[in-house]
Structure 1
Amino acid sequence: MTTPTTTPVASAAASTTRSTRRWLALGFLALAQFLVVLDASIVNIALPVLGAQLGMDTVALAWVITAYVLPFGGLLLLGGRLADRYGHRKLFLIGTIGFVAASMLAGLAASSGMLLGARAVQGASAALLAPAALALVTQLFPAAADRTKALGIWGAVAGIGSAAGVLLGGVLTAAIGWQAVFYVNVPIGILVVAVIPTLITRDPASTPSRLDYPGAATITGSLVAAVGAFSAAEQVGFANPLTIGLLALAIILGISFVLIERRTANPLVPLTVFRNRNLTVGNLAMLLLGAAMVALFFALSVYMQAVLHYDALTAGLTQLPLAAALVVVAGLAPSVVAKVGLKGTLIGSLVVLAAGLVWLAAAPSDASFAIHILGPSIVVGIGLGGAFVTATQLAVDGIEGGEAGLAGGLINTSQQIGGALGLAILASVATARTSALETAGIPTPDALTSGFSWVFLGAAAFALIGAAIASRAHTARQSH
């Protein structure tokens, strides 16, 4: 059963107390989230130039991504709980300041060690920023209709960040240098830090309870090990001892975490929160959506450059129709939810996403963008836009203010873990398929195309499984 929510009068009062200009506040919160999403992809295009200047080989370059993802994915639950304990605005500002400072250090990096250290601080800061920002959004918009509209904007901005990373990475690296992909965060972050305190009031005074240190240590260690295992699987395979060892460590620490949470008086993650079926379904749907989305963008970018021989800038530009469809649909999601319902919209969006991915899987090795890629890209964008907004909405359904940060940490963790898992599995599938075909004498372009087709089909399977899980959500929301 969902947790009872506040009455309309109380909700409106709470929202007004935090901000009298909540839609403007939403814009700046979403801008900070845009930086977090952007930073996960903008660095990719700059890696070859960066590696040449700093003397980093392929393995070291992989750590430029991993150094960000590990602390980000591993610390999200802790970051969300810290925000609940010590204040959502406070932790949001601390996270944003840390992110800006680390971005500046990354741009100034004169060695690989300095760069990797800065990337780790970026990831840890993002783990504070992201759940606190989403928690503030849920507090500013407690009513169902307004929250759906706000999350539509949130989803649109996140979609722009995902697609803009490839495009901006190519433009900034070519025009200014690899340092620009980090410096771009600085002025935007400073603006957010300067404006948010004028739009959102200070956090209410409270006496924070004792932090669950054993729980925090075990869940952080488990998530870091899990993300590390998936990252290792991409490079050395699932059968490698490193991957197996990290997975075993993640499972052991995860079991330890559950045992600790069942016995402690002040758990980091109260297991009773999962009695909220919509929260559980929303997180599982986001896990699978993240798996499909990350694998999609990876395969599509590499397919365009390695098979169709697009340059980095062209590859980025060709993803703009997908991003545009995503943004438009995310903005229209509130109207669709009002007519179809949250559950129906999520299921329909995931099915549309799967259809677009299956269509994309049919693209040949000599594909024409207009004939083979444009149509499925738009369909995929439609599915992503609707699914991202509604999965997020489900995951914060019925959550009170005292657990808003936890809900934000959970949904972001689901997306990150899902992305790492999906990419590791489907990249391994694509590599095995391509290698088998090349061994059989199939030309490399055709072999690569077949491998990427399997990635798109695998991503479609994730989306359909997500749709099946979404069918378990409650049909009607409680009134707000």
Structure 2
Amino acid sequence: MPTDTTPDTTPDTAKTTAGHKTTATATTDAAPTGPIPASPPGNTRLSTRDKLVLFVLCAAQFMVALDFSVLNVALPVLGQDLGMSQSALQWAVTAFALPSGGFLLLFGRMGDLYGRRKLFLSGLALFGAASLLATFAWDPASFLAGRALQGLGAAAIVPTGMSLLTTTFPEGPARDRALGISGTLLSLGFTVGMVAGGVLTDAFGWRSTMGLLTLFALIVLPLAPALLPESRHPDRPRLDVPGAVTVTGGLLALIYALSTAAEHGFGGADVIATLVIGVALLALFGYVESRSAEPLVSLPMLRRRTVAWGNLGGLVTFSMMSTIVFVLTLYLQETLGLSAFKTGLVFGVQGLFSVVAGMYAAKVIGRFGARRTLVGSLTGQGLLTATLLGLGSGGGSVWLATAAVSLASMCHLGAIISYGLTVTSGVPDDEQGLATGLVTSTQQVGITIGIPLLGILATTSSDLLSGVHTVIALDAAIVLGAAVLVALGLGPASRVRREARARA
């Protein structure tokens, strides 16, 4: 009886075998240095070449994560320098979020079809050039153009970089360790961005935040061509243009509506209209895909329990943690009166705890499996979030906030890594770009929706502390509810393995 896991299974990485990686349908073009030898399954030790590949891919992901947060603290100074009104400053964030989230699925699939390495390098080059434009922007239009092009480059980098990682390292301990490092740097990138943004802006001005991203691109881009192999679909099927148009338009409309609602609420006509358009286009996308001979997104893939429930876990962990970081930032500065620098230190501690979690995530997943780790991490994140209900107006609450958000971030990181493994394990190499596109789309949408859906309750409350408590209670309830749903949806690991053997 074959022991390989079928696509529907939850990855129980402690049980993986040497035949676990599916490679029969993948094609590898000759790279300048040839294909990268994968680390043997069952062994977490990475070769020197593996480490260099991992460095390039993780540095690119870290650079994109940094871009999500490095500019936040600098926005007031930026607005004064470029003459942007307070209401226009939201576009510094939205101009990046729209293309970075809207084009993820499309670019992930294009990487599958036409070459992941090629698209990854193109995204890196575009991101670096766009960062340079943003660094030397001379007016709001040139700055926002740079931000939008950064987002477009990020939409190419993230799914292709993740799929290059999952096709380079076989399922099992080697991939667990690689994704653990990647997830740690992803989480750390957000935190470092918050701290570095304030330090750089105070010392060198807001342009230095964009210059830092340019520097990252200049470091990574020369190394990538010599290290990364090319891979793509062997049959070169046609791109599903109707599916690409509807899903990209739907995601763009949805992200625009949610980003705008974070500033102005859900009552605006433009928010309501774009929400309706986004939902309609995504519904149309589902209809188009059901009738397409070569769909952009395979509906059977979406019906896999690992894909559906794994992505739900990812959506919840990202959206709810971003909400907590947002409301704690308000609470620490406006209720406790901490400076921006001291607030940054709180989240700096959070980042250190995330690094520690990343060091042990692969071992935890190897021992308990990705499914149990995902459920346990969501449960831990929810319970630790609930402890923040003890926050008050006294100065001692800063220690509770620091400890709770740091420990919750360790669980959050475990959920990030295990949901990525859950979704991508068992997926053929020629569909890894699609699977990782779904993972990163979930990540982007999760980061986008948390603040407008819950954070607005804190900003519109007559009493900030009361509003913060309301958000914390809802946040914890949602995460704990998701843990229950994911556990029930994925089912016991033993039942998953029985189903896999029956299909085999």
Same fold (TM over 0.5): yes
**Residues 211 and 406 from structure 1, CA distance in 2 versus in 1: closer, same or farther, beyond 3 angstroms?**
same
- Taking the TM superposition and a 5 Å limit, the aligned residue runs for 1:310-389 are 310-368=338-396, 371-389=399-417
Instruction: Provide the secondary structure at the position in 2 that maps to 1:203.
Output: strand
> Are positions 1:54 and 2:64 aligned together?
no
**Take 2:157 and 2:430, find their aligned partners in 1: how far apart are those partners?**
17
Aligned to 1:173: 201
- What is the CA distance between 1:99 and its match in structure 2? 0.6
Deviations 1:166-206 (A, max 9, x none): 10000110111100111101222122111122222233685
- What is the CA distance between 1:369 and its match in structure 2? 5.5
Do 2:116 and 2:230's aligned partners in 1 also have CA atoms closer than 8 Å?
no
> Are positions 1:3 and 2:7 aligned together?
yes
Aligned to 2:45: none
Among candidates 460, 467, 491, match of residue 451 of structure 1: 467
- What is the CA distance between 1:10 and its match in structure 2? 8.5
Aligned to 2:141: 113
Among candidates 156, 160, 169, match of residue 188 of structure 2: 160
> Are positions 1:462 and 2:466 aligned together?
no
Deviations 1:15-35 (A, max 9, x none): 996314122201210110001
**Residues 325 and 252 from structure 1, CA distance in 2 versus in 1: closer, same or farther, beyond 3 angstroms?**
same
**Residues 205 and 458 from structure 1, CA distance in 2 versus in 1: closer, same or farther, beyond 3 angstroms?**
closer
**Residues 60 and 259 from structure 1, CA distance in 2 versus in 1: closer, same or farther, beyond 3 angstroms?**
same
**Take 1:189 and 1:278, find their aligned partners in 2: how far apart are those partners?**
34
**Take 2:395 and 2:287, find their aligned partners in 1: how far apart are those partners?**
53
Letter of the aligned partner of 1:8 in structure 2?
A
Do 1:321 and 1:377's aligned partners in 2 also have CA atoms closer than 8 Å?
no
Letter of the aligned partner of 1:18 in structure 2?
P
Instruction: Provide the secondary structure at the position in 1 that maps to 2:180.
Output: helix
- Taking the TM superposition and a 5 Å limit, the aligned residue runs for 1:196-235 are 196-203=224-231, 206=234, 208-235=236-263
- What is the CA distance between 1:2 and its match in structure 2? 4.1
- What is the CA distance between 1:454 and its match in structure 2? 2.0
**Residues 383 and 367 from structure 1, CA distance in 2 versus in 1: closer, same or farther, beyond 3 angstroms?**
farther
**Take 2:411 and 2:17, find their aligned partners in 1: how far apart are those partners?**
33
- Taking the TM superposition and a 5 Å limit, the aligned residue runs for 1:186-335 are 186-203=214-231, 206=234, 208-335=236-363
**Take 1:418 and 1:329, find their aligned partners in 2: how far apart are those partners?**
21
Letter of the aligned partner of 2:470 in structure 1?
W
Letter of the aligned partner of 1:453 in structure 2?
H
- What is the CA distance between 1:142 and its match in structure 2? 1.8
**Take 1:256 and 1:285, find their aligned partners in 2: how far apart are those partners?**
25
Do 1:227 and 1:420's aligned partners in 2 also have CA atoms closer than 8 Å?
yes
Letter of the aligned partner of 1:401 in structure 2?
D
Aligned to 1:86: 114
- What is the CA distance between 1:219 and its match in structure 2? 0.5
- What is the CA distance between 1:341 and its match in structure 2? 2.1
**Take 2:333 and 2:379, find their aligned partners in 1: how far apart are those partners?**
28
**Take 1:318 and 1:204, find their aligned partners in 2: how far apart are those partners?**
43
Of the structure 1 ranges 156-165 and 139-148, higher mean CA displacement relative to structure 2 is found in 139-148
TM-score of the aligned structures, taking structure 2 as reference length: 0.88
Deviations 1:137-166 (A, max 9, x none): 101112222111111101110111011111
Aligned to 2:43: none
- What is the CA distance between 1:212 and its match in structure 2? 1.1
Do 1:2 and 1:278's aligned partners in 2 also have CA atoms closer than 8 Å?
no
**Take 1:17 and 1:394, find their aligned partners in 2: how far apart are those partners?**
29
Among candidates 86, 96, 104, match of residue 68 of structure 1: 96
Letter of the aligned partner of 2:321 in structure 1?
M
**Take 1:365 and 1:10, find their aligned partners in 2: how far apart are those partners?**
53
- What is the CA distance between 1:306 and its match in structure 2? 2.0
Do 1:289 and 1:462's aligned partners in 2 also have CA atoms closer than 8 Å?
no
- What is the CA distance between 1:227 and its match in structure 2? 0.7
Q: How many residues align?
A: 467
Aligned to 2:73: 45
CA RMSD of superposed structures (Å): 2.2
Instruction: Provide the secondary structure at the position in 2 that maps to 1:45.
Output: coil
**Take 2:448 and 2:19, find their aligned partners in 1: how far apart are those partners?**
42
**Take 2:22 and 2:89, find their aligned partners in 1: how far apart are those partners?**
49
> Are positions 1:19 and 2:36 aligned together?
yes
Percent of aligned pairs sharing the same letter:
36
- What is the CA distance between 1:245 and its match in structure 2? 0.8
Do 1:90 and 1:203's aligned partners in 2 also have CA atoms closer than 8 Å?
no
Instruction: Provide the secondary structure at the position in 2 that maps to 1:266.
Output: coil
Do 1:155 and 1:385's aligned partners in 2 also have CA atoms closer than 8 Å?
yes
Do 1:357 and 1:376's aligned partners in 2 also have CA atoms closer than 8 Å?
yes
Deviations 1:431-463 (A, max 9, x none): 34x22xxxxxxxxxxx21221222222221231
**Take 2:175 and 2:418, find their aligned partners in 1: how far apart are those partners?**
11
Instruction: Provide the secondary structure at the position in 2 that maps to 1:18.
Output: coil
**Take 1:4 and 1:283, find their aligned partners in 2: how far apart are those partners?**
14
The structure richer in helix per residue is 1
Deviations 1:16-63 (A, max 9, x none): 963141222012101100011110111100001000111111111011
> Are positions 1:401 and 2:434 aligned together?
no
- What is the CA distance between 1:371 and its match in structure 2? 3.4
**Take 1:2 and 1:237, find their aligned partners in 2: how far apart are those partners?**
44
- What is the CA distance between 1:85 and its match in structure 2? 0.8
Deviations 1:327-361 (A, max 9, x none): 21122112112222222111111111112211123
Do 2:313 and 2:378's aligned partners in 1 also have CA atoms closer than 8 Å?
no
- What is the CA distance between 1:9 and its match in structure 2? 5.6
Aligned to 2:41: none
Letter of the aligned partner of 1:211 in structure 2?
L
